[in-house]
């Protein structure tokens, strides 16, 4: 089972960064195996006082979580939103990534498309400049945008960007997901 990592809500002032501690590490820095890390990898011992760690621990998965839009307003199904990735700036992973819709109680949201997540394996269309837009909205955006739409409920919701086998920039905070932009 992959290690689950979360971070705070998406606000302009916050950066989504993973929690890098493991509760199964002894005070001496030894890792007590529990099967959640890649085989053969151990968490490094705590850094000595005043010294920084030189390597980033590997992670099987990273789950940045957003409950607000770019302006800090709670996400709800009234206005449409867009999640825009610049060309070449989609989530850096060796596995795959997806954006998953949840209601305020962290359950999947039923919808007429039976689409609960959208990601790099969803046959989305890129823009002419190579960028990618994901439309997150309750109302139907029309046939041109349907392939790139993640249906939202009428009420409050939140999203998880799931990254499997994330690269180091995602783990260190060098790469952060863009915020959802309200489009109307």
What are the sequence ranges of the domains in the chain? 61-182
In this predicted structure, the answer to whether residue 58 has a pLDDT above a threshold of 90 is no
More confident residue, 184 or 177: 177
3-state secondary structure of 119: strand
Q: Which residue has the higher pLDDT, 38 or 70?
A: 70
The pLDDT of residue 151 is above 80:
yes
pTM reported for the whole predicted model: 0.69
Tokens of 116: 């609960």
Q: Which residues of 17-39 are buried (b: 16+ CB within 10 A; e: fewer)?
A: bbeeeeeebeeeeebeeeeebee
| Greater pLDDT, 2 or 172 | 172
Q: In sequence order, what DSSP letters do the residues of 86-118 get, joined into one string?
A: -TT-S--BSS-EEEEEEETTS-B---TT---EE
Largest CA distance in the chain: 59
The topology (CATH level 3) of 61-182 is Jelly Rolls (2.60.120)
| Listed range (4-13, 92-101, 119-128) with the worst mean pLDDT | 4-13
């Amino acid at each position: 089972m992959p290690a689950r990592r979360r971070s705070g809500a998406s606000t302009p002032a916050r950066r989504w960064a993973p929690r890098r501690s493991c509760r199964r590490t002894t005070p001496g820095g030894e890792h007590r195996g529990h099967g959640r890390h890649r085989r053969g990898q151990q968490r490094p011992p705590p850094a000595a006082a005043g010294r920084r760690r030189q390597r980033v621990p590997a992670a099987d998965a990273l789950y940045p979580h957003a409950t607000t839009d770019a302006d800090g307003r709670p996400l709800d199904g009234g206005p449409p939103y867009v999640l825009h990735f610049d060309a070449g700036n989609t989530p850096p992973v060796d596995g795959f990534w997806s954006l998953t819709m949840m209601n305020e109680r962290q359950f999947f949201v039923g919808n007429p498309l039976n689409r609960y997540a959208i990601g790099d394996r969803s046959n989305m269309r890129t823009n002419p400049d190579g960028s990618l837009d994901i439309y997150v909205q309750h109302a139907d955006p029309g046939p041109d945008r349907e392939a790139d739409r993640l249906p939202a409920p009428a009420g409050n919701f939140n999203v998880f960007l799931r990254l499997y086998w994330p690269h180091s920039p995602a783990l260190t905070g060098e790469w952060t997901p863009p915020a959802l932009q309200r489009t109307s």
